[in-house]
Amino acid sequence: MKNNDPIKKNKKELNTWVEFTQIGIQMAVTITVFVFLGVWLDEKYPNNYHAFSIIFSLFGVFSALYFVIKKVIRMSKKKENSSSK
């Protein structure tokens, strides 16, 4: 039974790294999608200030941050529950 403990620990550490990598990819995709949507809207409905690009870029950044914070809170709760067992 003790032989499995290091393997489980390594697997948990790997899962944590995978989740953090996933967070970065999710942020990049979310921001990119909103930036391209803003640029597309600016091309379709031209204005002097590229307002759609600015608004959608900021919305993409804030959305990505919201999802990151939500995921980190969920990960910390999961870690607290597993450590209390």
Helix (H, G, I), strand (E, B) or coil at 1: coil
pTM of the model: 0.78
Residue 71, class by beta-carbon neighbours within 10 Å (0-12 exposed, 13-18 middle, 19+ buried)?
middle
pLDDT tens digits, one per residue of 3-47 = 567 777 677 777 878 888 899 999 999 999 999 999 999 999 999
20: left (phi over 0), alpha (psi -120 to 50) or beta: alpha
* pLDDT at residue number 1: 47
Give CA–CA dist 71/54, Å, rounded.
26
pLDDT tens digits, one per residue of 69-84 = 999 899 888 877 877 6
Residue 34, class by beta-carbon neighbours within 10 Å (0-12 exposed, 13-18 middle, 19+ buried)?
buried
